Amino acid sequence: MKYDTVLKVFNIVTDIKGTIESELIKGFKSIGMNTCWAVAAATLVMTLAL
C-alpha cells in the first residue's frame, strides 16, 4: 500500500469518528448533560466502540 492510500483511509475514519462523536455530544446534551460530561461520555463510547 502506498502511504497516500493509508493516509486517505485514516482521514476518512477520523472524520467519521468525529462526526459520530459530535452527534453523541448533541444527544447527551439534549437529555440534560452539561457539556463537560457530554464530551466525556461521547469520548468513552467512541473509545469502547473502536
Q: Given this model, what pLDDT does residue 13 score? A: 77
Q: What is the pLDDT of residue 31?
A: 95
pLDDT in tens, 7-36: 888 777 777 777 888 999 999 999 999 999
Residue 49: the pLDDT is 84
In whole angstroms, give the CA distance from residue 11 to residue 34: 29
CB-based contact 18:32 (threshold 8 Å):
no
Are the CB atoms for 46 and 17 separated by under 8 Å? Answer: yes
pLDDT given at position 4: 82
Q: Provide the pLDDT for residue 1.
A: 63
Classify residue 29 as exposed, middle or buried by CB count within 10 Å of its CB (0-12, 13-18, 19+).
middle
- For residue 2, pLDDT beyond 70: yes
